[in-house]
Structure 1
C-alpha cells in the first residue's frame, strides 16, 4: 500500500470515528452545511475566500460571485466566455470554440490560475487543461466564483493569480428539470437535459449535454459530450454524505493558425469523481473528508504523428472548521495527492503532501481580520511555505474597505521537468517553483441601487519559467527559471438596479504588466479591458438584453495587436409558463479580431433554443 493510500485509510477511519462520536455527543444538532449557507442571502455569501461560507460584506479578499441566473438569462453557454466577462480576467482562445483557452488573471500566466472543481484542485502540472477549458460549458454548475490575488495559503500550487471555483449543481425542492435543443450558425446543434430535487434527506441533480459545430474554418469541427451529477444524503442529524461526478469528452479537428496551417485532430477527456462525508461534531466544530479521483487524457494526431498524454490523480482533502468563541473561526486541514502521468509513452509519478491553517477574527462588528500559513511538499521539487493576511472594515453602512497581502507559488509542469522529445522540448529536472507576492486594497460602496467596487493591486513574480533554445539547428530547447515580472493595476466593478425590470452590470480593468529584466510588456496582457451587460424584462414573458466586451491594444510575442470591441444580444420569450423560446447573436457587429495571433475568432453568428421546463 503506497503512502497516499495509507493516509486515505487513516483519514477515513478518523472521520468515521468522529461521526460516531458526534452522534453520541450532539443528537439534537441538525444544522447541515446547507443550513449554514442559507443563513446568509444567496447573493451575498462566498466560499472560496476562506474555504467556508462567509458573508461577502466581511470578506477582505477581492472575489466575484458570478450569478448563474444572469448567465443563463444572457444565454451564455461557454465557461471561457463567462470568465472573460469578469474584472481582472483576460481569456485568450485560439480561434473558435474548442480551441486552447488561457485564463490570465491580474496579468499572471495561465498556469498560475487555479481551477477548483467541487473542492478539488484541477491543475495537474500539465498544460492539457487549456484544451479542456476552450470547450467547456456551464451546464450543471450552480456556483462560479472568481477569487483574485495570491491564494496559495488556502489552495497551494498554481494559485498565484487567483482561483476559479466551480461547484456542481445541488438539488432542492420537488423533482423538476428541463430539456433544451439549440441550432444555429456554422452547423451548430446542441441539446441538454437536467433533473434535480430533494426528498427524504436525499438531494440529487444530474445534467447531460451534447454539442456539435463545424465552426467557421475548414477542418475545425467540434464534438462534445458533458455530464454532471451530485448526490447528498443527510445520514443523521449530524452527518452529511455525498458524491459528485463530472465528465467532458471533446473531439476536435485542428486547422492550425493562418500563419502555420496544419491538419490534425485532438481527443481530450476529463473525469472527476468525489465522495465526501461531513460531520457536525458540535455547534463549534465541523469535519469534512473528501476523496477524489481525477483522470485526464489528451491526444494529438496529425498524419502518422501520434502524441498521447494522460494523467491520473488520487486526492484526499481533510478540512476542519472550529469556532472556539463566537468572533473566531479557525480552518485547518491536510491535503495529499498522488499523480501518475504518461507523456509519449514515458511514465512517472509525483506526490504532494500539504497542511494549512487559517483564522478569521471579528474583534468588532465592523472589523474582520484574516491570516493563515500553508506548507506544500512535492516529491519532485521540494517544499514551499506561503502566508496570507487580510483586513475588512465597515466604517458605516454601505461602505467596506478591504485589503490583503499574500504569497504564492507554482510548481513546474510535467512537460517542463520531463520534456516532450517530439516537440523538441528537453527535460530540465533542476527547475524550482515560481514564486510571487502581492497585495490589493480597495473600497466597496453602496449608493442606493448602485454598488461600486474599486480595487488596486500589485504583484511581483520571480523564478518565472522561460523558454531557452539550446540548439538553433534542431530548434530544441528547455524551460528554465529566469524571468521576473511585475503586474499592477486597478479593477472597477459596478452593478446598477435601474428599475424593478432592468439592471446593468459593468467592469473595467487597467493592467500594467512588464518583464522586470527587459522592461517590455508581457504578451497578451492588454492594458485596458471592459465588459458591460444590460438585462431588461420587457414584460412578464419577455426578456431582452445586450452586452459589450472591449479589449485594448496589446502584443503577442513581438507582434502588435489592435484592440477590438464585440457586442452580443439576446431575447427570450415564454410561450407558456414552462416553454421558452430563445435567440442570441454573438459578435453582432461582425468584427474581425484575434485573441491569439493567427487564430481569427468567429464572425457574426446566431443561435436559437427551445427549452421545456417540467
Structure 2
C-alpha cells in the first residue's frame, strides 16, 4: 500500500504494501456512499482512508452537519447509530454514551488533544461549537493503548478545518420558537437564537483565521404561570483565533487560542416542611484553551510531530431565594498536556510509531470561600505515558496493527495496556468490496479528580453527589468483530459485534444514599465489581437514485452488573436511526432524521423504575438562493415527543417541537 504524502503529512508517499485504491467506510448516520474516502486519524494516529484503517472509525462530515443544521457537537452526534446522548441531570447539557459505557468513560478530543470534563466528570458536548469543524471521528471500544486513560469506552475526536489561503469565510444566523412552551408565553417568539462567523486570510505560507459563535436560548416552560422552568436559559459564546505557518510541503506549525463562556439560569421550587420556596440558580462557566504544535516529514518516510495544550476551566455557581444569595461555589480545573510522536521509516512492510504524553491537572473548589475538597486547598495529579505501535502489512489484503502503552500515574502507579487490530480486504470484485475487522483492546481509566474529590451540589433537586477518594481505576477488555460490504459505491452495509468486560466500573452508588437533616439525599461514587456490555451495531446506506439516498442503523445493547445480576442504569437495549436525503431540484434538498430509543433502567435497586421509550423525527430543508447565499429551515421533534415533568424517572426529551429559519452567506474561495 502507498500512503500519499498528504495523507501522512510528509513530503513523499510511503509504500508499505499494495492495496486496492477504493476507500469506503461508515460516515456516521449520513454516509456519503459516493465519497467514502475521508482521511481519519483517531484509530491509528496517522491519516488513513476510512475503509483502509484497521480500527473501525465512523465519521460525521461537514456536509452532514450543514445539511442537518447542527449547532453544537451534541447536534452533530445525535444521528450516529449507537451513540446515546444523555441529559446531564441538573445542568443544561448532554454527555455521550458508547457501547454501554457512560460519558466519563468516553474521551473527547479536539484535534487529538483532550477537553476537560466540563460538567460533573463528563464533557458537555453541547458546549462545543462547530464553526471551525471539518468533521468528527468516532472510535468505539477500548483505545487506551492509543490514547491513554479515559478512552476506555471510546474516543470522539473533533477535527478542525485547515486555514485556507486567500480571503474566504462565512456568516450565518438562525432563530426559532418552541411554540406555546416559549418562556415568554408568546407562541411566536424567537426563544432560541444563533449567530456565527468565520474568516480565513493569508498566503500559502502564513495564514490566519478568526471565528465566533453565539448561541442563546430562553429555555422551555410548559407552564408559564408557574415559577419552575424545566429547561434552563443559557447563553454560550465561543471565540477562536488560529495562525498557521507552512514553511514547505514537508511541514506545518500552528497556534490556536479559544475562549468559551456560558451563562445559565435555572428556576425551581424548593420543598421545605409546610412551604415551597422559589429559588434561582446561576452558573458562569469559562474555558480558556491554547494549543500549539507542528509536524515535519522527510523523504525517507520518517516524521515527527509535537502538540501541546493548556486549558483553564472555571465554574462559579450562586443560588438566590427571597432576595438573598447563598452557596457561592467556585471551582477551578487546570489541565496541561504535551504529546510527542515519531513515525519511523517503513522497513519490510512495518510502519513503526513511538510517542509519549505528559499530563498534569489540578482541581480546587470552595463554598463561601472555604475549601470543599476533603479539607485541602486543592488536589492535583500527573501522568507520564509512553506508547509504541507497529503497523504490519501482510501481503496486499491483510493488515495487523499492534500497540502497547505504559502509563505511570502519580496517584495510582504504573499500568500497561495493549491492543491488536486486524483488517482483511476479504472480497474484491468489480462490483463488490468486503472488509473484515477484528479488534481487541485493554481499557484502563484512572478516576478523575472530580470523581474522587468534587462535590456536585444539586440540593435544589433533592440530591448531592460526593467524590470518593477511595475509588480504584477502571479496567476492561474490549472485543470488536465487524464486516462491511459495498456495492458499486451505491449501497453500503456494516455489522459490528462488540463485547466489553469491565472491572471496577465507576458509577454513582444509588443503593447506599444517606438522608441529610434537610431531606436532601447524599450519594457517593463507587466501583462496581464486574460488569459486561455487549451487543450488535448495524448501518446501511443506499443511493436509490442520483437525487435520493436512504440510511438506517440499529443498535442492540445488553448490559449486566455481574455482582447483582441487574442491567446497568441509563442504557437502552434498542436504538434506531433512519434518514432520507432528497434533492428535489438543483437548488432545494429536503432531509428527514428519525431516532428511536427503547426504555431504560433508571434505578439499579428497583426493576420497575424505568424511563419510557421514545421516537423523534426532524425535518429540514436547504435552499441555494444564489451560489453563495443559502437559506434553511426545519422542525425538530415534529411529533412533540416530550417527557412527563411530574415523573422523576422519565428521561425522554426535555424540549418538544421546535421550528426555525436561518441563512448562511459564504464569500471568497472554497467553502
Considering the TM-score relative to the shorter chain, is it more than 0.5? yes
- Equivalence for 1:339: 361
- Structure 2 residue matching 1:104: 3-state secondary structure: strand
Cα deviations by residue, 1:448-501 (Å, 9 ceiling, x for unpaired)? 311001000000111122445485456555433343210000000122222222
Alpha-carbon distance between aligned partners in 2 of 1:605 and 1:561, rounded to the nearest angstrom: 23
Cα deviations by residue, 1:255-297 (Å, 9 ceiling, x for unpaired)? 4699999631222122321111212134321000112111211
Q: 1:370 aligns with which of 401, 405, 421?
A: 401
- Structure 1 residue matching 2:77: 3-state secondary structure: helix
Alpha-carbon distance between aligned partners in 2 of 1:421 and 1:389, rounded to the nearest angstrom: 38
Shift of residue 95, structure 1, vs aligned partner: 8.2
- Equivalence for 2:491: 450
- Structure 1 residue matching 2:51: 3-state secondary structure: helix
Shift of residue 570, structure 1, vs aligned partner: 0.6
The structure-2 alpha-carbon separation of the partners of 1:574 and 1:44, relative to structure 1 and needing over 3 Å to count, comes to closer
Shift of residue 63, structure 1, vs aligned partner: 1.4
1:585 aligns with 2:577: no
Shift of residue 203, structure 1, vs aligned partner: 4.0
Q: 2:590 aligns with which of 541, 544, 557?
A: 544
- Equivalence for 1:210: 214
Matched-pair contact (CA < 8 Å) for 2:11–2:299? no
- Equivalence for 2:294: 277
- Equivalence for 1:310: 332
Alpha-carbon distance between aligned partners in 1 of 2:125 and 2:13, rounded to the nearest angstrom: 29
The structure-2 alpha-carbon separation of the partners of 1:431 and 1:91, relative to structure 1 and needing over 3 Å to count, comes to same
Cα deviations by residue, 1:148-183 (Å, 9 ceiling, x for unpaired)? 110000001111110000122212354211111211
1:463 aligns with 2:504: yes
- Equivalence for 1:613: 666
Q: 1:244 aligns with which of 256, 263, 274?
A: 256
- Equivalence for 1:116: 109
1:290 aligns with 2:307: yes
- Equivalence for 1:603: 656
Alpha-carbon distance between aligned partners in 1 of 2:197 and 2:456, rounded to the nearest angstrom: 43
Shift of residue 603, structure 1, vs aligned partner: 1.1
1:196 aligns with 2:205: no
Matched-pair contact (CA < 8 Å) for 1:32–1:238? no
Deviates more, 1:348-357 or 1:39-48: 39-48
Deviates more, 1:168-177 or 1:446-455: 168-177
- Structure 1 residue matching 2:640: 3-state secondary structure: coil
- Equivalence for 1:76: 70
1:435 aligns with 2:429: no
Equivalence map 1:99-248=2 (5 Å): 99-123=92-116, 127-128=119-120, 130=122, 132-172=124-164, 174-185=166-177, 186=182, 187-196=191-200, 199-217=203-221, 220-248=232-260
Matched-pair contact (CA < 8 Å) for 1:99–1:131? no
Cα deviations by residue, 1:44-76 (Å, 9 ceiling, x for unpaired)? 322101000112223232210111211211212
Deviates more, 1:150-159 or 1:459-468: 459-468
- Equivalence for 1:409: 444
Matched-pair contact (CA < 8 Å) for 1:106–1:149? yes
Shift of residue 326, structure 1, vs aligned partner: 6.2
Shift of residue 237, structure 1, vs aligned partner: 4.9
- Equivalence for 2:38: 44
- Equivalence for 2:31: none
Alpha-carbon distance between aligned partners in 1 of 2:522 and 2:280, rounded to the nearest angstrom: 23
- Equivalence for 2:461: none
Deviates more, 1:437-446 or 1:255-264: 255-264
- Equivalence for 1:9: none
The structure-2 alpha-carbon separation of the partners of 1:422 and 1:199, relative to structure 1 and needing over 3 Å to count, comes to closer
The structure-2 alpha-carbon separation of the partners of 1:251 and 1:541, relative to structure 1 and needing over 3 Å to count, comes to same
Computed over aligned residues only, the root mean square deviation of the Cα atoms, in angstroms, reads 2.8
Relative to its length, the structure with more helix (as a share) is 1
Matched-pair contact (CA < 8 Å) for 2:445–2:475? yes
Alpha-carbon distance between aligned partners in 1 of 2:474 and 2:450, rounded to the nearest angstrom: 15
Alpha-carbon distance between aligned partners in 2 of 1:612 and 1:378, rounded to the nearest angstrom: 49
Matched-pair contact (CA < 8 Å) for 2:137–2:157? yes
Alpha-carbon distance between aligned partners in 1 of 2:636 and 2:10, rounded to the nearest angstrom: 37
Cα deviations by residue, 1:411-466 (Å, 9 ceiling, x for unpaired)? 11223323539676666433221111110101000123110010000001111224
Alpha-carbon distance between aligned partners in 2 of 1:165 and 1:329, rounded to the nearest angstrom: 23
- Structure 2 residue matching 1:576: 3-state secondary structure: coil
The structure-2 alpha-carbon separation of the partners of 1:164 and 1:585, relative to structure 1 and needing over 3 Å to count, comes to same
Matched-pair contact (CA < 8 Å) for 2:10–2:299? no
- Structure 2 residue matching 1:539: 3-state secondary structure: coil
Q: TM-score, structure 2 length as denominator?
A: 0.81
- Structure 2 residue matching 1:417: 3-state secondary structure: helix
- Structure 2 residue matching 1:133: 3-state secondary structure: coil
Alpha-carbon distance between aligned partners in 2 of 1:421 and 1:447, rounded to the nearest angstrom: 51
Alpha-carbon distance between aligned partners in 1 of 2:359 and 2:173, rounded to the nearest angstrom: 39
Cα deviations by residue, 1:295-328 (Å, 9 ceiling, x for unpaired)? 2112222121122211111211101112332632
- Structure 2 residue matching 1:221: 3-state secondary structure: strand
- Structure 2 residue matching 1:338: 3-state secondary structure: strand
- Structure 1 residue matching 2:411: 3-state secondary structure: coil
- Structure 2 residue matching 1:182: 3-state secondary structure: strand
Matched-pair contact (CA < 8 Å) for 2:11–2:297? no
The structure-2 alpha-carbon separation of the partners of 1:587 and 1:414, relative to structure 1 and needing over 3 Å to count, comes to same
Alpha-carbon distance between aligned partners in 1 of 2:312 and 2:363, rounded to the nearest angstrom: 10
Q: 1:353 aligns with which of 352, 375, 384?
A: 384
The structure-2 alpha-carbon separation of the partners of 1:574 and 1:31, relative to structure 1 and needing over 3 Å to count, comes to closer
Q: 1:420 aligns with which of 433, 438, 455?
A: 455
Alpha-carbon distance between aligned partners in 2 of 1:111 and 1:571, rounded to the nearest angstrom: 35
Equivalence map 1:558-597=2 (5 Å): 558=606, 559-593=609-643, 597=649
The structure-2 alpha-carbon separation of the partners of 1:36 and 1:178, relative to structure 1 and needing over 3 Å to count, comes to farther
- Equivalence for 2:535: 489
The structure-2 alpha-carbon separation of the partners of 1:144 and 1:35, relative to structure 1 and needing over 3 Å to count, comes to farther
Deviates more, 1:334-343 or 1:586-595: 586-595
- Equivalence for 2:414: 383
- Structure 2 residue matching 1:80: 3-state secondary structure: helix
